[in-house]
Structure 1
Amino acid sequence: MFERMNPHKTAPELQKPMFALTKHISEHIDPVLFELVKLRASMINGCGHCVDIHSNDALEAGESTARLFGLNAWWEHPMFTDKERAALGLTDAATRFGEHGVPDDVFDAARAHFDDRELTYLVAGIGLINMWNRFGVTFQVTPPSALAHAG
């Protein structure tokens, strides 16, 4: 895979508010949970660039490799809390909108663990990482680890 173009270089003025919004959302969501959400959405979307970034960011935030590996089967992995499962279920549903959007049971599970403000920020975070993924996948942005190994 070769990078088609790098949106950070071609439109830095667009990237700046996106980074600012990411930072703002991160101030309202538990940082480890936010990394899990960003990583899970990036896995679903097949964004190698974002998977690389958010797996490393999660490790730096104190996340374990066992939980990161278990993220692909979070619904049956015993190391995730009910709150994390609710957030990850919402991430899956809001990333893979079906014909009828986010099912009531998924939304209700998230609402049981997050107040309205937290839930609003969580959905904003899910939406924003999906936007970042659209850049990474469409432009085939090279993952930072691949750049480091290219040498």
Structure 2
Amino acid sequence: MSKPRISYDAFARIAPIAQNSLITMGRQADESGIDKTIIELVKLRVSQINNCAFCLQIHLNVSRKLGVPQEKLDLVATWEEAGIFSDKEGAALAWAETLANLAGHSVSDAAYAAVREHFSEEEVVFLSVSIATINAWNRLGVAFRFAPPIPKKGAAAA
């Protein structure tokens, strides 16, 4: 079992401007008007790809509070095969996977056209900001092994 290298609280104390900048970027995307459940599904999928337990747990907790169906939370890792995600959710998840997996290739015109079928130019900007922000959080969470905020038994999810 891996142990935290630096706690989230220590990170916030050491680099408050970085922490606040990432929070601000995320907040702007969250307040853009895109359905919050889509934003959370994207954050979950990117956190799965990047193996960030800290961010995965946070966004599972947020998703549950928003009322995202458990089936979607269970199957977001295999969204293409699950058959329960809307076309718009699928477009957002495909875009998230494209932006999370940039090593060795660029973003194709076809990938951009696919996301634009379901999102306006402004929405694609904010969806991309959300993906970029969770990617940054994932890299910090994985590098420092932030401990996931697991709710205590009997307590409501955070």
TM range (shorter): over 0.9
Q: Secondary structure at the match of 1:145?
A: coil
Residue ranges of structure 2 left out of the alignment (5+ in a row):
154-158
Instruction: Report the alpha carbon displacement of residue 99 of structure 1 after superposing the two structures with TM.
Output: 2.5
Q: Could you say what secondary structure the match of 2:104 adopts?
A: coil
Query: What is aligned with 2:22?
Result: 18
Name whichever of 13-22 and 60-69 sits farther off: 13-22
The normalised TM-score by structure 1 is 0.92
Matched, 1:70 2:75: yes
Residue number in structure 2 paired with 1:36:
41
* C-alpha contact 2:46 2:96 (8 A) present in aligned 1: yes
TM-score normalised to structure 2 length = 0.88
Structure 1 distance, partners of 2:89, 2:110, is 15
Given that residues 86 and 106 in structure 1 are in contact (C-alpha distance below 8 angstroms), is that contact kept between their aligned partners in structure 2?
no
Matches within 5 A, 1:40-55: 40-55=45-60
Paired residues, number: 148
Identical residues among aligned pairs (%): 35
Tell me which of 86, 92, 112 is aligned to 1:87.
Answer: 92
Structure 1 letter corresponding to 2:51: G
Instruction: Name stretches of at least 5 consecutive residues in structure 1 with no aligned partner.
Output: none
Residue of structure 2 equivalent to 1:138: 143
Displacement of 1:98 in angstroms is: 4.2
Residue 102 of structure 2 corresponds to 97
Kindly provide the CA deviation profile for residues 21-65 of structure 1, in whole angstroms up to 9, marking residues without a partner as x.
211110112111100011100000000000000011111111011
Structure 1 contact 25–124 (Cα < 8 Å) conserved: yes
1:105 maps to a residue whose letter is A
Q: CA RMSD in A?
A: 1.4
**Given residue 8 of structure 1, which amino acid in structure 2 is its aligned partner?**
A
Q: Which amino acid aligns with 2:111?
A: V
Cα pair 2:100 2:135 within 8 Å, conserved: yes
What is the one-letter code of the residue matched to 2:139?
Answer: R
